[in-house]
Amino acid sequence: RFLVIALLIVGVIIVGIFFVAVPITDIMIIQPATQGDLTPLERFMLSGEGNVAFAFSWSTQALVLPRLAKSERSGYWATALSYGVVAPFFVATGGVMALAMFVKTGVYESDPTTMLSTLSTPAFALLSLLLVAFANIGTQGTGSYVNCMIVKSGMPKVSYKLMVWIAMVYVSLLTIWGGVEEYFGSFISLAAYIQGPIIGMIVVDYFILRKRKLDLRSAYFLEGHDAYEFTKGFNLVGLSCVFISLLVAVLFVYNPVTAQIQSPIFLITTGSGFTALFGGLLYWLASLSPLKRYMIKDRDAIT
């Protein structure tokens, strides 16, 4: 709680410092940098892909963390304010800082410590560095916790401690590698290419196929109720839809590894958005086949 408030205060101060150091009129006249032979629409949709991918990759946190609140009301407002106010504020702050640095030095800078040491004082830059470090640790800790909880809820027999160790090793290897920042766009889009079909299938499964009615006994793994167990805990139809959606998106819509736009479809849906739509469509089409008996086994026990 203290860290969030402190970061908000620092963020407001930073915005003030940058507007004092660099006139807003100078910031407003900056034109977007051109990217090769891309059209303005392509540049815009590439930016849109980053935003959609970011939203998809954080979807698990938005779904799980409100459950820790003491009431539905507090869970709603905490999530709405976090993702609707706080996160956009810091994204906008980062954009203002980068533009101000470009006006001042002619270089786009992404390191907040360098920015503040240039436009403010080294002491304030150090304070900002410490707060950002703690914020990153908190963000990673929250992300690992949520991801472990998601896996645990779907695979209750797997040791939670084991999943925590796996998450720790994974994050440690990424830190040692040091290439996360360079390949962040590709990384987050690939993550969204997995999350996207899952989101699409959840919408189709819950609202269209199950019509918002579930077997709660099976949902909570009560003995003798296994409508959602599928094949040893894995929905093979769902996994197939994820794999097919990811493959089609990479090959025919947008390749996040090479940053190549493969189809005009990208200019309408983005790559991540396409995976959600296509994954949901595939899952719905599968429900029209004999696979429906495998996918929907709870109709006689809904509560």
Q: Tell me the pTM.
A: 0.83
- What are the angstrom distances between the C-alpha of 35 and each of 39, 47, 106? 9, 12, 17
Q: Which amino acid is at 180?
A: V
- Unique residue bearing structure tokens 């040491």: 117
Which residues are CB-contacts of 275 (< 8 A; sequence separation ≥ 6)?
Answer: 192, 193, 196, 197, 200, 245, 246, 249
Angstrom distances, CA of residue 43 to CA of 38, 46, 94, 261: 6, 5, 19, 11
pLDDT digits (tens, 9 = 90+) for 206-246: 999 999 999 989 888 888 888 888 998 889 999 999 999 99
- Give the domain ranges of the chain: 1-30+37-176, 178-302
At 94-126, the pLDDT tens digits run: 888 888 888 888 888 878 778 878 877 787 778
From first to last of its 303 residues, the chain has per-residue pLDDT tens of 666 777 778 778 877 887 788 888 888 888 877 767 888 899 899 989 998 998 898 887 777 778 888 898 998 898 888 888 888 888 888 888 888 888 888 888 878 778 878 877 787 778 777 777 877 787 788 888 888 887 887 677 788 899 999 989 988 998 899 888 788 888 899 999 999 999 999 999 999 999 999 998 988 888 888 888 899 888 999 999 999 999 999 999 999 999 899 999 999 999 999 999 999 999 999 999 999 999 999 888 776
